[in-house]
Structure 1
């Protein structure tokens, strides 16, 4: 047999001509198995990268106590915001004796459906999820709830499902950012956002719009773009800066998009923030790695993760009824750096 991380106790038992029970006992150092046989089995397991099946072990023990594995779905690992949320979830879960099983949807609805099915079949005690950008049908989430499995949304919530959620105050974060741009003298503020079918897209756009209206300015549709990543920002921004009355500031739905705007403007010869002001939304590590450092709205992802895990575990352990919908909002704060005046 070739080395494989997927080798099972059944494989070891077959290869060594012993029973699965003997393998199991040997790996647990049971005195019922001779020292020589224990060492042979343990050596073989190590050489073939055997890892215990944590889920199966928890299922066996669940007859006497609930399984303590939480399923977490994140859109993409590469984003600092989602990784910081995951850190918060893991720390809170670990402190309460829970383990975390993580999968990424890669922003695909089909992946999300399959992950929910896999988590359900694995008997996780609950699921924490930020839905993908492409999710417009929610039957897979409802099936989770119908099975009595607690479900908590974070960041991108599903308004069509009656489940608990933890979000940042997207509206006030955007409102504060755009108000700062206006107060610093900006007159034509562009908005790069995500789809208005998503709650975060809707709330951040409304904060942008209302800040303009509050200060006697009206949104210009030419300055409002559906753009939520750096690659698209680097294509759209030069085109926008060539119109007859270009923007003098940008508010972007996330830091990566804002950084795409920043470097596009610099390549065109603009000085930041003397000519163009830019504000993002996240306050990830990249916000401090660009030049100049990015003014941005801090989302406090770690706290969001802690809150989501806390709600879910309280529902699992009965401190909160499973059918009770908890809605928690984490306040944002504006971090002013070098890309605004």
Structure 2
């Protein structure tokens, strides 16, 4: 026969005190003496009592739960951001729900609907590549719930973004290849629906312009920057015959391209210098090692989580919270060194 769960009334009956006192003791109320609290906690353990969080949440209108919505948990950058978020949230007594969209807008919409139903206190999100309108995010904010955006900036009114200066990072990476002697530099870009990838493309274009290198639209390849996309773009790039440098908006596509170049007898960096973005762990151990941009992913997570918790505690929805731009670093490795 299934054992019934112990209740506050069971503790009350066992100790001979009223249930309201038991409830206050379990919630560490200053109105209850330490002796009574200790007795209640000990009896709760003996009876196997579990606090009814749902009932408590309904009373306080808070779940002490936040959600992280991101494209792919498997990407090292995103998993490191999650680690920063969880460290800060855990210290503050909050639970973290992690959801991945796989860069599909419909999944993102369904996730946000579920989070509304489950009444999470706040959301930290990196939007999908398909996200071109924000109605589903506005619906969450309209319920007086805060949202922090990271990595992929959002232009919603009064929204808070945590990211790096993607324009500058791409500019200095492109300029590095130019200083290495590259004159025909291709760019693997992400969807131009996303501000992040527009900034990285614009940084690339600005560096070419500064050094009087003519922009060739055939050198720019837009995709979702998957491994398959990297290979397909590399095939198209080689057909051009003149490219001597490549800037990819992530490491995944850059590494896939390098592997394809190798299979075709194209040497990196002697024939084509390559640089990526994100500093995935594999970028340091492949041969040749990949020049890339290192983003402070853990600090991005901590900053996003800290800001979100401040908004939750102050019952605010971002109206006056400024966006944050963190520093990034160009890590020069063997894939770009021609000399």
Query: What TM-score range do you get, normalising by the shorter chain?
Result: 0.7 to 0.9
Equivalent position of 2:233 in the other structure: 236
- 2:80 aligned counterpart, secondary structure: helix
- 2:182 aligned counterpart, secondary structure: coil
**CA-CA distance at 1:175 after TM superposition:** 0.3
Number of paired residues? Answer: 308
Paired with 1:216 and 1:238, the residues of 2 have a C-alpha distance of 27
Paired with 2:179 and 2:44, the residues of 1 have a C-alpha distance of 77
Task: Give the TM-score normalised by structure 1.
Answer: 0.83
Equivalent position of 1:140 in the other structure: 136
Mapped pair 1:182 → 2:161? no
The verdict on how the C-alpha distance between 1:78 and 1:161 changes in structure 2, with shifts beyond 3 A counting, is: farther
Equivalent position of 2:283 in the other structure: 287
Conserved 8 A contact 1:71-1:100: yes
Paired with 2:82 and 2:308, the residues of 1 have a C-alpha distance of 14
Paired with 1:327 and 1:291, the residues of 2 have a C-alpha distance of 38
**CA-CA distance at 1:161 after TM superposition:** 4.5
Q: Which moved more, 1:222-231 or 1:247-256?
A: 222-231
How is 1:108-123 mapped onto 2 (pairs within 5 angstroms)?
Answer: 108-123=104-119
- 2:205 aligned counterpart, secondary structure: helix
Equivalent position of 1:311 in the other structure: 307
The structure 1 residue matched to 2:95, chosen from 95, 99, 106, is 99
Conserved 8 A contact 2:146-2:316: no
- 2:335 aligned counterpart, secondary structure: coil
Mapped pair 1:203 → 2:199? yes
Paired with 2:302 and 2:10, the residues of 1 have a C-alpha distance of 37
Paired with 2:265 and 2:235, the residues of 1 have a C-alpha distance of 11
Equivalent position of 1:296 in the other structure: 292
**CA-CA distance at 1:314 after TM superposition:** 1.0
Conserved 8 A contact 1:138-1:161: no
Runs of 4+ residues deviating >6 angstroms: 23-26
The two structures, once aligned, show a CA RMSD in angstroms of 2.6
Q: Which moved more, 1:229-238 or 1:301-310?
A: 229-238
Paired with 1:211 and 1:234, the residues of 2 have a C-alpha distance of 25
The structure 2 residue matched to 1:329, chosen from 322, 325, 331, is 325
Equivalent position of 1:153 in the other structure: 149
Task: Give the TM-score normalised by structure 2.
Answer: 0.83
Paired with 1:24 and 1:249, the residues of 2 have a C-alpha distance of 73
Which structure 2 residue ranges, 5 or more long, are not aligned?
12-39
- 2:99 aligned counterpart, secondary structure: strand
Paired with 1:120 and 1:134, the residues of 2 have a C-alpha distance of 21
